[in-house]
Structure 1
Amino acid sequence: MPYKKPKIEKVFYSIGEVAEMFAVNASNIRFWENEFDILKPHKNAKGNRMFTKEDIENMKIIYHLLKERGMTIKGAQKKLKDNKEGTIQNFEVVNRLMEIRKVLVEIKEEL
């Protein structure tokens, strides 16, 4: 029986890693942290921000509203305040559709 290397998942991500995930500056993330109350990373003894998976999911929603949909900070804040659940559901639908599109494009390229 071959050895299977266990998949190790990180519990915390640094601000640099999160900035790299979203291709934005770390200063952008610090600014969004001040503007959006759903984004609350933990801080260690040195004061470094440590992001959890939940923080990254919230960051995806914020990134979607600001960068992909082109909303302003105030508009995104209002959208999250008025209808957070609807915004999250919309975001999930868009992600699923993009995954489906990716699969269809791969199939098309194979033909």
Structure 2
Amino acid sequence: MPYKEREISKMYYTMGEVAILFDVNQSLIRFYEKEFDVLQPKKNKKGNRYFTPEDIENLKIIFHLIRDKGYTLNGAKEYLKNNMADSKDSHRVISSLESLKKFLIEVRDQL
């Protein structure tokens, strides 16, 4: 069995790190923070936002709904309001399948 490298996760991510992670402007993330109640980043005294891994997962779900599935902002809000647990479960399944696909491609390329 090959060595499985652990992902190092942080407790908090800065706004800049999140913007780079999603390849978007920081203003879009601030806009989504105002629009979606599920995004609640911590703020320090200076007003800097710090996102938890749960916030990152919620952002992934929001971007998936808006970019990939073509939901409007109001449609994505309603979907999250009614199906938050289901969407988190399905997103976990999708991300695990993507990591499995990546691993299998790496194995194929080594053969």
TM-score bracket for this pair, using the shorter chain length = 0.7 to 0.9
Greater radius of gyration (CA): 1
Partner of 1:22: 22
Q: Percent identity?
A: 49
Partner of 1:43: 43
Is 1:85 the counterpart of 2:91? The answer is no
Partner of 2:71: 71
Unaligned runs of 5+ in 2: 1-7
* CA–CA distance in structure 1, aligned partners of residues 36 and 13 of structure 2: 19
Cα deviation, residue 12, structure 1:
2.4
Partner of 1:98: 98
Summarize deviations over 1:14-38 as a string: whole Å, max 9, x none. Answer: 2111101111110010010011100
* CA–CA distance in structure 2, aligned partners of residues 52 and 62 of structure 1: 15
Unaligned runs of 5+ in 1: 1-7
One-letter amino acid matched to 1:51: F
Is 1:52 the counterpart of 2:52? The answer is yes
TM-score w.r.t. the length of structure 2 is 0.83
* CA–CA distance in structure 2, aligned partners of residues 93 and 9 of structure 1: 19
Partner of 1:4: none
* CA–CA distance in structure 1, aligned partners of residues 30 and 52 of structure 2: 15
Number of aligned pairs?
105
* CA–CA distance in structure 1, aligned partners of residues 107 and 10 of structure 2: 33
Instruction: Specify the SS of the correspondent of 1:83.
Output: helix
Instruction: Specify the SS of the correspondent of 2:11.
Output: coil
One-letter amino acid matched to 2:72: T
Instruction: Specify the SS of the correspondent of 2:46.
Output: coil
TM-score w.r.t. the length of structure 1 is 0.83
- CA RMSD, aligned part only? 1.9
Cα deviation, residue 9, structure 1:
5.5
